[in-house]
């Protein structure tokens, strides 16, 4: 086994720890742990991370710290994305984490988030063709136009699944007002990327995108069609969360993201003139691990 590397991100839906090692054939996961916190929805409503959510976050970081110690991981990157970026009390929270666990959590920019995600998607969705990358999370959606292996344009849209729920009152079953409101928000915010060049393909990543993929394709096929997303949004709009859990074999928190996620991805596909999107199995954590590994000596690599 090669030297272990860890990446943890405090996202808008989940806090997630990945411990892996790099081999000549790719990245191998050893630990893949997450805790659903819904920080993005709380920050969208209150502007800050509440005391209750802070306790949950500290408990989760403590569990992650114990795992790093258990596996003797020396190289680890901890970072936070949209919810922490927007929380007015983030400085105080990050200082508490540093003092209690000796862990420095870096708030990364939307561009940095997209760069790490794009790097990881090259493991299973590599191409030199002009590509639009859609990195969909709970707080925001990063939309990047990529060409020749680099991000040329990037926009962060405030339409993550939790943010949309908080802004529109969307729930399951969805009433006509909230459904109309969420579509109005998506259409308005997506005008920011309407001037992007037309890509040859679309690649999606991030927790919300992977949730859609797993709900629609338990067979593992990584290509989603417009028709599938249209059906999913129609179905989820009329169902309770509990029925969605049973029908699509997803956890209850993930079930709550499917309606907003499918509406957002479907709209962006239409805007860019594509009827299919390829979903990557990898995301920002894998990208961070790959980047750390690239900075290390080649002798780390194992067969």
CATH value at residue 244: 3.30.420.150
Give me the DSSP letters along 175-238.
PHHHHHHHHHHHHHHGGGGTTSPPPSEEEEESHHHHHHHHHH-TT---EEEHHHHHHHHHHHHH
* Tokens read off for 10: 């405090």
| 117 in any annotated domain | no
| 136 in any annotated domain | yes
Residue by residue, pLDDT tens for the chain (303 residues) are 568 999 999 999 999 999 998 877 778 999 999 999 999 999 999 999 999 999 999 999 999 999 999 999 989 999 999 999 999 999 999 999 999 999 999 999 999 999 999 999 999 999 889 999 999 999 999 999 999 889 999 999 999 999 999 999 999 999 999 999 999 999 999 999 999 999 999 999 999 999 999 999 999 999 999 999 999 999 999 999 999 999 999 999 999 999 999 999 999 999 999 999 999 999 999 999 999 988 875 444 443
Q: How many residues does the chain have?
A: 303
Q: Are residues 137 and 95 in the same domain?
A: no
Q: Are residues 75 and 158 in the same domain?
A: no
Give the domain CATH number at 72.
Answer: 3.30.420.40
CB 221 within 8 A of CB 214: no
Contacts for 24 with CB less than 8 Å, ≥ 6 apart: 301, 302, 303
191 exposed, middle or buried (CB, 10 Å; 0-12, 13-18, 19+)? exposed
Domain span at residue 20 reads 5-109
Parallel, antiparallel, or unpaired for β 201-205 and 5-10?
Answer: unpaired
d(CA 77, CA 116) in angstroms, rounded, equals 12
| 52 in any annotated domain | yes
| 92 in any annotated domain | yes
Beta-bridge mates of residue 302? 23
| 288 in any annotated domain | no
Q: Are residues 64 and 9 in the same domain?
A: yes
d(CA 68, CA 91) in angstroms, rounded, equals 24
Q: Are residues 95 and 162 in the same domain?
A: no
The structural domain count of the chain equals 2
Q: Are residues 174 and 57 in the same domain?
A: no
Q: What is the pLDDT of residue 27?
A: 87
Q: What is the pLDDT of residue 302?
A: 42
Q: What is the pLDDT of residue 300?
A: 43
d(CA 197, CA 174) in angstroms, rounded, equals 34
Q: What is the pLDDT of residue 95?
A: 98
The pair phi, psi for residue 212, each rounded to 5°, is -65, -45
Q: Are residues 102 and 143 in the same domain?
A: no
CA 190 to chain centre: 18
d(CA 13, CA 303) in angstroms, rounded, equals 35
Q: Are residues 75 and 141 in the same domain?
A: no
8-state DSSP, 141:
E
């Amino acid at each position: 086994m090669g030297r272990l590397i860890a990446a943890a991100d405090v996202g808008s839906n989940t806090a997630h720890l990945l411990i892996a090692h790099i081999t000549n054939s790719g990245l191998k996961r050893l630990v893949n742990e997450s805790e659903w916190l819904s920080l993005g929805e709380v920050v969208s409503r209150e502007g800050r991370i509440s005391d209750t959510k802070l306790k949950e976050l500290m408990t989760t970081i403590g569990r992650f710290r114990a795992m790093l110690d258990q596996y003797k991981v020396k190289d680890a990157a901890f970072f936070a994305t949209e919810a922490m970026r927007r929380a007015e009390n983030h400085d105080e929270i990050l200082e508490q984490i540093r003092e209690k666990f000796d862990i420095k959590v870096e708030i990364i920019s939307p561009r940095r988030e997209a760069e790490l995600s794009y790097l990881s998607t090259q493991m299973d969705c590599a191409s030199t063709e002009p590509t639009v990358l859609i990195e969909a999370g709970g707080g925001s959606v990063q939309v990047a136009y990529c060409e020749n292996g680099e991000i040329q344009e990037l926009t962060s849209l405030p339409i993550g699944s939790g943010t949309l729920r908080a802004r529109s009152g969307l729930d399951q079953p969805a009433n006509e007002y909230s459904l109309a409101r969420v579509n109005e928000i998506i259409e308005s915010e997506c005008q920011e990327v309407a001037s992007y060049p037309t890509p040859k393909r679309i690649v999606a990543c991030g927790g919300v995108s992977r949730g859609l993929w797993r709900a629609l394709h338990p067979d593992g096929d990584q290509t989603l069609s417009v028709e599938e997303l249209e059906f999913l949004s129609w179905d989820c709009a009329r169902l309770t969360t509990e029925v969605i859990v049973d029908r699509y074999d997803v956890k209850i928190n993930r079930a709550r993201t499917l309606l907003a996620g499918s509406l957002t991805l479907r709209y962006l596909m239409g805007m860019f003139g594509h009827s299919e999107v390829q979903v990557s199995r990898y995301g920002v954590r894998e990208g961070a691990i790959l980047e750390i590994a690239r900075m290390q000596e080649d002798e780390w690599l194992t067969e």
